[in-house]
Amino acid sequence: MVGTRLRFETTHTTEFVDITDRLRAEVRRAGMRMGRLHLQSLHTTLGLAVNENEPLLLRDFQGLLERIAPEGAGYEHDDFARRLNIAADEPINGHAHCRQLLLTGFATVLVEDGDLVLGTWQSVFAVELDGPRHRQLALQLDGEFAESSLSPFRGEGQGEGRGSSAESSLSPFRGEGQGEGRGSSGSATLVELELARQLLIDPEAVAVPMRRLVEAGGKRVRPKLVQLTAGIGPRSEPLRAAALAAAVELLHNATLIHDDYVDESTHRRGQPTVAAAEGPERAVAVGDYYFAKATRLIAEIGNRDVTLTIAEALEAICAAQIDDVALRGAFPGDHDSYLRVVRGKTAALFAAACASGALFSEAGPEVVGALRRYGDLVGVAFQMADDMVDFSPDSGKPVGLDIRHRVLSLPLIYASEDRAVGPEVRRLLAGSLGDAEVGRVADLVISSNALERVREEAQALVETAVHELESIELDGLRPILISLARSAVDRTA
Amino acid sequence: MSIQLLERDLERLESLWDDGLSDAYRSYMEAVAAYEPEAQPRLALAAALIEIGLRLQGLGGRAAAAPSLLMGDLCLARSSRLLAGAASQSVQIAFARAIETLSAAAASDSSAPLPRPRELLLRAFEAK
């Protein structure tokens, strides 16, 4: 959901302001494809109407309002002697309030194919009843958005995507801590602000390397899941939800710092890893610091279920990381081992992000459970897509990095099981892996049907995840969660 | 002294039990007498896991090799889960702050010796 304000000046006492084109522009700007545009007057003498923009008809409407609630007809509201707390410039406008009662202060317009659903002669009007004045309407756009507007999976490794110009145009409430829309860039900006704030107050020795990692990019999928699911239950606290989301992102990054040391990775998100740039001792300390800080920030939120959910996920991550390293002796492993490791290393925090947001919002246990399963399935599918990216020349990264580092990878497992290429893949993986061997293994994987099998499996998981959402009330969030799940798989970077 | 821990609390960490974890646990048990009896074993184990975990990782000294680092990570994560289930919010926060203090000191270029983990962790119990 995206929230914004429409501001305008009126020039007459009574005026029908046609706002149709401006609403269309807001829909386009938000990249909304399908859903609902909600409007709400923020004034008691400004109404809303949907009708024909024909000047004589508008004069008829004005005449009707004037006949039903004529000016100066002895409104008690205008008897200032009987009212309390009258402002010096209090207008005599009982008639305008009564006229507004005849209109409406709220309206919803459907959106399809990126445009308002209006009949040929229908226009949307803000109806000024006590002008001229400065006026504003609250707008919320709720529904499906174009991939470029909503997908959290763009810009990985490029340091873009978060707070980019395209995204920031969606909401004017960035950084104000209000008007928060679910799935809006405003939510994402809150997380970025919280991350920046937390990194500002930490000792430089730990903050500098973490800042480098955080500012280098990342998809921010986990905080997005926290924020989305934090909007489901009856308790809505966007600022505290952003604090929880930022803590989850810090925790994720802390695990990456230790992972990079263990994997002997030299770069992440285009930047040198902490271990490579500043040595393993610093990497251990920075990882520990942000592990502790993130768990503290989560504890400070004061919801035991949330704390426990994240702690259990962290434990699953660590256990899976141990399994992952142990399995490297039997590289490339098998499907069951792969799933066990991926469920822990990746899916556990996805599931915990979904569950913790829902728990934070005090959603019911069936909703929490369904979202936890959704997160788990999307997390596994996300990792499978990540594995496929390693074989994509469009990813922006050298092809075959996972092969070189002997990282558990489902395409490699499937290729090694392939009747045609399997024997050669297994033979190559059993030996030392130089550039030629890595390139050959990558070619063999691409030439087999391994990538297609992985893609189909990931898509099936996503559809199962989507199915999990069908039985629960999500208060309009379903399209965003579906879009997010599908974009987890449909990506090349 | 009876060991009232669940199997799950020590799962995967059995090898550490005889390698310093049980001693640390017993030491911390003496510090948790003021807590509810059923919470005491888990609180003591949580503190012991932090102490042993940081030692395994080589925090403040030479970084451990990957397997030890990962085992240390699991110790810290297990500790976090135990605290989430058995400790008050203020104790959870105090334990996290103790690790923050130790790791920030380890990350700094200062040649000053690292604070003693046990002292910091014992102090964290006072946040009850």
Report chain A (493 residues): mean pLDDT per 10 consecutive residues. Answer: 84 94 87 90 95 92 93 90 82 94 93 90 95 92 70 40 28 30 66 94 96 92 96 92 98 97 89 95 98 98 97 98 89 93 98 98 97 98 94 77 89 96 95 93 96 96 96 88 91 68
Instruction: Name the nearest CA neighbour of A255 among A349, A358, A179.
Output: A349
Residues on chain B touching A311 (C-beta within 8 angstroms) = 77, 80-81, 83-84
Nearest to B103 among A285, A295, A304 (CB): A285
Give the total number of structural domains in chain B. Answer: 1
Residue with tokens 């610091």: A289
Whether A315 sits inside 8 A of B70 (CB atoms) is no
Residue of B69, B74, B75, B80 to mutate when probing chain A, most A C-beta within 10 A: B80
Closest alpha carbon to A412 in A328, A491, A333, A327: A333
How long a stretch of residues is chain A?
Answer: 493
As annotated, the residues of chain A forming the CATH 1.10.600.10 domain(s) are: 146-489
Residue B74: closest CA among chain A residues belongs to which residue?
A: A318
Residue type, A33: R
What is the Cα–Cα distance from A337 to A324, expressed in whole angstroms?
9
Residue in A with minimal Cα distance to B106: A285
Q: Does any domain span residue B1? A: no
Residue B97 included in any domain: yes
Contact: B73, A318; criterion CB under 8 Å? yes
Residue A251 with chain B: CB contacts under 8 Å: none
> Which among B12, B69, B84 is the nearest to A304, CB-wise?
B84
Decide which of 3.40.50.2300, 3.20.20.70, 1.10.600.10, 3.40.50.1860 is the CATH code for A146-489: 1.10.600.10
Q: Do A293 and B102 touch (CB under 8 A)?
A: no
B70 → chain A, closest CA residue:
A322
Between B21 and A120, the more confident residue is: B21
Chain A CB contacts of B84 under 8 Å are: 299, 304, 307-308, 311
CB within 8 A of B80, min separation 6: which ones?
A: A291, A295, A311, A314, A315, B46
- B2 assigned to some structural domain: no
Task: Share the mean pLDDT of chain B.
Answer: 93
| B127–A contact, CB cutoff 8 A | no
Looking at residue A217, its amino acid is: G
Q: Taking CB atoms and an 8 Å limit, are A286 and B103 in contact across chains?
A: yes
DSSP 3-state of A33: strand
**Chain A contact for B61, CB < 8 A?**
yes
pLDDT recorded at residue A184? 55
**H or E stretch at A144:** strand A134-145
Q: How many CA atoms lie within 13 A of A16 on its CB side?
A: 21
Taking an 8 Å cut-off on Cβ atoms, the answer to whether B67 and A325 are in contact is yes
- Write down the residue that tokens 């964290």 correspond to: B124
Q: What is the CATH number of domain A2-75+92-144?
A: 2.60.120.460
A291–B contact, CB cutoff 8 A: yes
Look at B69 and A261 and tell me if their CB atoms are within 8 Å. yes
CA distance A492 to B16: 43
Q: Which residues of B touch A321 (CB under 8 A)?
A: 70, 73
Q: Which structural domain range is residue B91 located in?
A: 7-125
- Interface check for B97 against chain A (CB to CB < 8 A): the answer is yes
Q: Tell me whether residue B36 is exposed, middle or buried, using C-beta atoms within 10 angstroms of its C-beta: 0 to 12, 13 to 18, 19 or more.
A: exposed
Please tell me the distance from the alpha carbon of residue A491 to that of residue A141, in angstroms, as a whole number. Answer: 25
Residue A467: what pLDDT? Answer: 96
Nearest CA in chain B to A303: B89
- In chain A, list all ranges with CATH 2.60.120.460: 2-75+92-144
In a domain, B69, yes or no: yes
Is B69 an interface residue toward A (CB < 8 Å)? yes
Q: Confirm whether B36 is domain-assigned.
A: yes
Predicted model pTM: 0.72
The pLDDT of residue A185: 63
CB pairs under 8 A between A and B: 128
CB-nearest to A318 from B70, B89, B96 is: B70
Which of A286, A295, A322 has the highest number of chain B CBs within 10 A, making it the mutation to test binding with B? A295
